[in-house]
Amino acid sequence: MPTAFDPSLALKPGGIAVITGAASGFGRELALLCAAAGLQLVLADVDEAGLAQTVALTGLPPAAVLAQPCNVADAGEVDRLAARAHERFGAVHLLFNNAGVIAAGPSWKATPQDWQWVFGVNVMGVAHGIRSFVPGMLAQGEPAWVVNTASVAGLVCPPELGVYAASKHAVVALSECLHHELAGSGQPVGVSVLCPAYVDTGIADAFRHRPAELAERNPDDAAFLARTKVAMQAGRLSARDVAQRTLDGVREGRFYILSHRSAAAGVESRLRAFLAGGAPDNPLAGVG
């Protein structure tokens, strides 16, 4: 359904884009593309060294970029990020709730800490971003857009990714609800949900930033993620490709941004099984 306003106006030069998970992967590439498009940036991540590198790569002058360490699982830290963004720039036109982590292995071996860490970042990070930034975006009365990073694992249910897939399904559900709410707000604010498949983003190494108190993980996690890294590195699309498709999706006002069209077959298979009352197959076989 087309929006009632031109979503490309959210990407106008001089606008402000907030990007979480900006130290690497999609977040870094989104930052570089937004900077090249003339936007000013608010960048956040727990990886301070990676964040500083992203800032340097943008080539923006200090006045045009704000970088802040931020654990998106902490509501107070996201509130402070929003406060600093508005103090510095006075508005936000693009919000990329992009920070994400992964835990893997058979679901019955998942630890309570796996659930807490993954849902804290992947789900509550998005929820905190919406709560902290969207009210201001609505109050501005200017075209604005929210992009929540989910995954194709938010549309299908791959084996050994129970915790991760559950978190990404939650992101898709939250994004769909937000779409309906924003559409009824009367304000020019829209939302997309990004659902990529295998891309080499560095997420398989996210454990290095896992809090010590949440370190107890699925005993099969490391082995599964080692295999996943191979699949990611063999993927045909780069993080840059996906970031470009994401901005194109915003310009076109698309809700679902599915980077890998081949992944649609897995979604269709799942829905056919649902309608037939059958069992799902492995949805990511052959996707890359």
Q: pLDDT tens digits, residue range 20-71?
A: 999 999 999 999 999 999 999 999 999 999 999 999 999 999 999 999 999 9
Q: Kindly tell me the number of DSSP H helices and DSSP E strands found in the chain.
A: 9, 7
How far apart (Å, rounded) are the C-alpha atoms in residues 104 and 194? 21
Q: For the purposes of burial, counting CB atoms within 10 Å of the CB of 194, is it exposed (0-12), middle (13-18) or buried (19 or more)?
A: buried
153, 168 contact by CB (below 8 A): yes
41, 20 contact by CB (below 8 A): no
> Could you tell me how many residues make up the chain?
288
116, 216 contact by CB (below 8 A): no
Residue 99 is inside which H or E element, if any? none
108, 55 contact by CB (below 8 A): no
How far apart (Å, rounded) are the C-alpha atoms in residues 266 and 271? 9
CA angle at 228 for the pair 224 and 230, rounded to the nearest 5°: 125
Q: Choose the catalytic residue: 26, 119, 133, 164.
A: 164
pLDDT for res 50:
96
Per-residue pLDDT for the chain (288 aa), expressed as one digit of tens each? 457 899 999 999 999 999 999 999 999 999 999 999 999 999 999 999 999 999 999 999 999 999 999 999 999 999 999 999 999 999 999 999 999 999 999 999 999 999 999 999 999 999 999 999 999 999 999 999 999 999 999 999 989 999 999 999 999 999 999 999 999 999 999 999 999 987 766 676 677 889 999 999 999 888 888 887 776 666 678 899 999 999 999 999 999 999 887 788 888 888 999 899 988 887 655 444
pLDDT for res 201:
67
First vs last C-alpha separation in the chain? 28
pLDDT for res 288:
43
pLDDT for res 230:
72
101, 205 contact by CB (below 8 A): no
pLDDT for res 34:
98
| E strand residue ranges, 133-231 | 144-149, 189-194
Beta bridge partners of 105: 161
Residue 164 annotated to the active site: yes
